Amino acid sequence: MANPNLTKENLRTFLRYEFDRGSTATQAFENINNTYGEVTIGKATTYRWYEKFNNGEFSVEDAPRSGRTVEFDEGQLEELLEEDNRQTTRELAEQMGCCHGTIENHLKKMGKVQKYGAWVPRVLTQQQKQNACNRLLNRHLNRRQGL
């Protein structure tokens, strides 16, 4: 299992170290995954960074990206929903100047689901939570017993 404390920059630094040592991309891939876990870094990622190093690009930090900024005002989305919680994602997107997929992602992140045409918080009752836990426990016990 991969080490969750490793950042992309850490992995790129390891790749740069392996590159500087004279290791091949395959050797670097194997060394990192043997040390930190099988799924720590992918082969394609390793080869892509080795290609950059071979081209003289040695920075391990993310390059600045072009395109639209990633700023999104969830407070404004919340206000629009308070005004009318029956708006579609396309209507909300038009008012906020973004695409409806962005609205869908933020509604999901905010814990909102659409019920009967209205966006409402997705909240489970205590009984629903208990039933879900019981179903999961029973499934686990049945699998352990080979049923």
- Residues in the chain where the model's pLDDT stays below 70: 1-2, 67-70, 147
Place of tokens 């876990």: 37
* CB neighbour class for 28 (10 Å; exposed up to 12, middle 13-18, buried from 19): buried
Q: What's the confidence (pLDDT) of residue 13?
A: 95
Q: What is the pTM of this model?
A: 0.46
Q: Report residue 82 CA to chain centroid gap.
A: 28
Helix (H) or strand (E) holding 83: helix 74-83
Residue pLDDT, tens place only, 69-79: 568 888 999 99
Segment 25-42, tens digit of pLDDT:
999 999 999 999 888 899
**Nearest one of 91, 19, 85, 27 to 56, comparing CA atoms:** 19
Inter-CA distances, 143 with 57, 136, 137, Å: 51, 11, 10
**8-54: what fold?**
Arc Repressor Mutant, subunit A (1.10.10)
DSSP letter at 27? H
> What does the domain layout of the chain look like in residue ranges?
8-54, 73-147
Angle CA 97–100–101, to nearest 5: 120
Helix (H, G, I), strand (E, B) or coil at 108: helix
